């Protein structure tokens, strides 16, 4: 694809707004804006919380750099479709499904994509019944997660029975719907998926070694808190399998253009898909730019590839 057909369009990069990931979104948006400016595009940077939606809806095309709800879950995508404004990344349905980790897992299971065992609070009449079932069917250690948040916000690894009740109750109070997932001891890895000239490509796998217990919000966005290893140190056949599962998960949810698929491997390097992120972080410390660079794509070129996903049909 020749990357010049959008140079005469008014492109709006939206970031910030009202999610729990506002600060990271602002950083992503500024980096994306600078990259498009450097490439010669007619681009403006808008934070709808400050400037409202007027400047967004007056653009010809929108580059969405909103992380988490309500920018990554289909809400903004639906608004832009109402006004017939092309936008980057996945459509309404795929965005909504990917943000809801329980719905994602149901689709993964139906698509024969390995994912850690789980149970959802929605299937039980009380929190006590939910916890008892989790202990019986999954056992300790386990992971407590909000159903619809990004950047590992609200995620807790629970190893001690005495902590479980308080952690589950606190997570429900803060986030509403939650689920409990099997804890798999192993490597944390992530796979970038990028549509390059019409070919869906799995980028080199990034292995994450956080200084915290796991790759949480602090480890993701604080310099020096996580070591990146590319390519991930897993067996060759398992490496290829992880890339295959990442592509399969991206397709199963109906994603468009790009995504970042988070996985965990067990002690035998068997990969399990945790979730798909439809608007990955694009800061200096983010995973997708690091994987793209390992593939041979510099940051500005990655942003340009992502921009042209706005021209693709959404599911």
- Known active-site residue 21: yes
Q: Is 227 a catalytic residue?
A: no
The one-character DSSP state at 314 is P
Task: Name which of 98, 103, 99, 97 is nearest 118 in CA terms.
Answer: 103
Helix H or strand E encompassing 227: strand 226-229
Mean pLDDT confidence for 128-145: 94
Q: Kindly state the average pLDDT of the residues 89-103.
A: 97
Place of tokens 């949810």: 253
The active-site residue out of 183, 221, 239, 272 is: 221
Catalytic status, residue 3: no
pLDDT of res. 226: 82
Six-digit token pair at 146?
């909000």
Annotated active-site residue in 16, 19, 20, 21: 21
Task: Please give the average per-residue pLDDT across 294-308, as a whole number.
Answer: 97
Instruction: Determine the pLDDT at residue 149.
Output: 79
Q: Which two tokens stand for residue 132?
A: 């008892």
Residue-level pLDDT at 152: 72
- pLDDT score, position 124: 87
Q: What is the pTM of this model?
A: 0.94
In whole angstroms, what is the distance from residue 86 CA to residue 310 CA?
A: 5
pLDDT at 49: 96
Q: Name the more confident of 148 and 32.
A: 32
Q: Which tokens hold the place of 139?
A: 């056992």
pLDDT-above-70 percentage for the chain:
95
How sure is the predictor about 42, in pLDDT bands with cuts at 50, 70 and 90?
very high
User: Which is catalytic among the residues 73, 262, 269, 304?
Assistant: 262
Is 33 marked active-site? no
Q: Is 225 helix (H, G, I), strand (E, B) or coil?
A: coil
pLDDT in tens, 144-177: 999 987 667 889 999 999 999 999 999 999 988 8
Catalytic residue among 275, 286, 304, 308: 275
Place of tokens 């919380």: 49
Res. 1: pLDDT tops 60 = no
The mean pLDDT of 114-140, rounded to a whole number, is 93
The two three-digit tokens of residue 195, written as one number? 């549509």
| Tens digits of residue pLDDT in 55-90 | 999 999 999 999 999 999 999 999 999 999 999 999
Mean pLDDT in residue range 264-270: 97
User: Is 4 in the active site?
Assistant: no
pLDDT at residue 122, rounded to an integer: 85
Q: Exactly one of 59, 96, 281, 287 is catalytic; name it.
A: 281
**Does residue 275 have an active-site annotation?**
yes
Question: Of these residues, 29, 104, 260, 287, which one is catalytic?
Answer: 260
Q: Could you confirm whether 260 is annotated as catalytic?
A: yes
pLDDT tens-place string over residues 19-31 = 889 999 999 999 9
Q: Which of 108-112, 119-123, 311-315 has the highest mean pLDDT?
A: 108-112
CA distances for 271 relative to 118, 188, 189, 212, 268, angstroms: 16, 10, 9, 22, 9
Q: Which of 19, 95, 100, 151 is catalytic?
A: 151
Whether 277 sits among the annotated catalytic residues: the reply is: yes
Catalytic residue, from 148, 277, 286, 309: name it: 277
Residue 219 has pLDDT above 60, yes or no: no
Distance CA 156, CA 91 (A): 30
Closest CA to 209 of 184, 235, 187, 231: 187
Dump pLDDT digits (tens) for 185-218.
999 999 999 999 999 999 999 999 977 666 655 6
When mean pLDDT is compared across 124-128, 152-156, 258-262, the lowest value belongs to: 152-156
CB of 85 closer than 8 Å to CB of 62: yes
pLDDT at res. 145: 94
């Amino acid at each position: 694809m020749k990357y010049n057909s959008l140079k005469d369009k008014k492109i709006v990069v939206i970031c910030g707004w009202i999610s729990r990931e506002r600060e990271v979104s602002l950083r992503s948006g500024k980096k994306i804006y600078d990259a498009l400016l450097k490439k010669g595009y007619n681009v403006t940077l808008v934070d709808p919380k400050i400037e409202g939606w007027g400047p967004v809806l007056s653009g010809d095309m929108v580059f969405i750099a909103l992380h988490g709800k309500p920018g990554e879950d289909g809400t903004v995508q639906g608004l832009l479709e109402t006004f017939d404004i092309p936008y980057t990344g996945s459509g309404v349905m795929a965005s909504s499904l990917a943000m809801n980790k329980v719905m994602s897992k149901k689709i993964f299971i139906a698509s024969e994509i390995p994912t850690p065992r789980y149970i959802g609070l929605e299937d039980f009449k009380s929190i006590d019944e939910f916890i008892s079932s989790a202990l019986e069917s999954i056992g300790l250690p386990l992971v407590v997660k909000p159903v619809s948040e990004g950047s590992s916000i609200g995620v807790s690894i629970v190893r001690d029975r005495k902590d479980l009740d308080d952690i589950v109750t606190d997570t429900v109070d803060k986030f509403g719907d939650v689920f409990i997932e099997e804890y798999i001891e192993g490597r944390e890895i992530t796979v970038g998926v990028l549509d390059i000239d019409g070919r869906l490509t799995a980028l080199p796998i990034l292995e994450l070694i956080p200084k915290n217990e796991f790759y949480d919000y602090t480890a993701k966005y604080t310099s020096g808190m996580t070591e990146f290893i590319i390519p991930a140190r897993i067996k060759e056949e398992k490496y290829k399998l992880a890339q295959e599962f990442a592509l399969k998960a991206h397709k199963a949810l109906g994603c468009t253009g790009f995504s970042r698929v988070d996985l965990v491997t067990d002690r035998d390097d068997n990969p399990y898909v945790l979730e798909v992120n439809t608007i990955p972080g694009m800061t200096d410390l983010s995973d997708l730019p690091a994987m793209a660079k390992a593939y041979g794509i510099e940051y500005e070129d990655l942003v340009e590839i992502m921009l042209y996903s706005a021209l693709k049909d959404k599911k």
